[in-house]
Amino acid sequence: MSTHEHALPDYKEQSPEVAQRFSRIYERPIILDVQNLRKSYGEGENATTIFDHVSLQIHRREFICVVGASGCGKSTLARIVAGLDESTGGQILLDGKAVEQPGPDRGMVFQGYTLFPWLTVKKNVMFGLSIGGENEGIADAEARQWLEMVGLAKYEDAYPHELSGGMKQRVAIARALANKPRILLMDEPFAALDAQTRSQMQNYLLQIWKKVDVTVLFITHDLDEAAFLADRILVMGANPGRIIEFIENPVPRPRETPHFLSREFLALKKRLEEHIHPPSEEAHDNIPMIRMTEVGDDVE
């Protein structure tokens, strides 16, 4: 067999099915339009640019994952979209309206558990509705409905400390969705969970996304997670932060294990690996060779 037959296809090579899937996605209206966004700290000579020239358009109900080296500004980008931080240049339109401050049209789920420990699960989910002036009876009924959606109806009267990490994040998702956001911003929401819970949470999230009219911007440093969840994967680079590439994920839905052994998928994975762990950087990571074994005890 020649090496040519072993070669992976080009990661951009698309089957007609994939091309068709994306053309359907691109027909949907643009919900989030980030235009030439810049973020820097400090002034003049002391200014540090976190990222620059960040532009992206996300379509309604798209699932976007953002990957990139630590420090490239992923969290900063999410915080600016959420209205929790200010940009230094450019603008963001959500449904055509400029984003300037936090609002119920954007829901956030962070890595850390951010539930209010003094409120029950249901009161946590009701929180946004209640401060938004919703009638208590309606807020109560809606909170229950969202808890059912994330499979936690039985726990409505429990307190956050009684729940596992995965359950807390499901409540956080219910709380974010209860405000009926146009976009759900998720910043490494499953990073603190063990591998098995994490995989369950990814499945839950896809099930929820299928049932709810919401667009997702999901930050992760886990390439497999991005490949499992995303329609498109936004790859960011660091120093200064910038968009390197927007990659269309060829893996069909619903996603099952055999898909992750396909040549298309392996080509995508290889491309992502090249961006995130460039070989030139790894060469600097060599640790000094200090021998602490007897000569002859070498392992491979």
Ligand X SMILES: Nc1ncnc2c1ncn2[C@@H]1O[C@H](COP(=O)(O)OP(=O)(O)O)[C@@H](O)[C@H]1O
In the complex with ligand X, the residue whose CB is nearer, 67 or 94, is 67
List the alpha helices (DSSP H) in 150-222. Answer: 165-178, 195-211
Q: Which does 293 bind (CB under 5 to 8 A by kind): Mg ion, ligand X, none?
A: none
β-pairing, 106-110 with 183-187? parallel
Q: How far is the CB of 48 from ligand X (least distance, A)?
A: 6
Pick from 234, 115, 254, 94: nearest CA to 173: 115
Of the two residues 237 and 250, which places its CB atom closer to Mg ion in the complex?
Answer: 237
- In the list ligand X, Mg ion, none, the entry touching 181 (Cβ below 5 to 8 angstroms by class) is none
Closest approach, Cβ 76 to ligand X, in A, equals: 3
DSSP state letter for 284: G
Is the Cβ of residue 71 or residue 112 nearer to ligand X in the bound state? 71
The residue ranges that bind ligand X (CB under 6 A) are: 41, 48, 50, 68, 70-76
Smallest CA-to-CA distance from 233 within 220, 256, 222, 249 is with 249
Residue 111 is a binding residue for Mg ion (CB under 5 A): no
Residue 230 dihedral angles phi and psi, to the nearest 5°: -80, 150
Instruction: Choose one: 19-27, 73-81, 131-139, 242-250; the region binding Mg ion (CB under 5 A).
Output: 73-81
The residue from 75, 130, 197, 203 that contacts Mg ion (CB under 5 A) is 75
- Site for Mg ion (CB under 5 A): how many residues? 2
Tell me how far apart the alpha carbons of residues 247 and 288 are, in angstroms, rounded to a whole number. 37
Rounded CA-CA distance 206/149 in Å is 12
Instruction: Pick between residue 9 and residue 240 the one whose CB is nearest to ligand X.
Output: 240
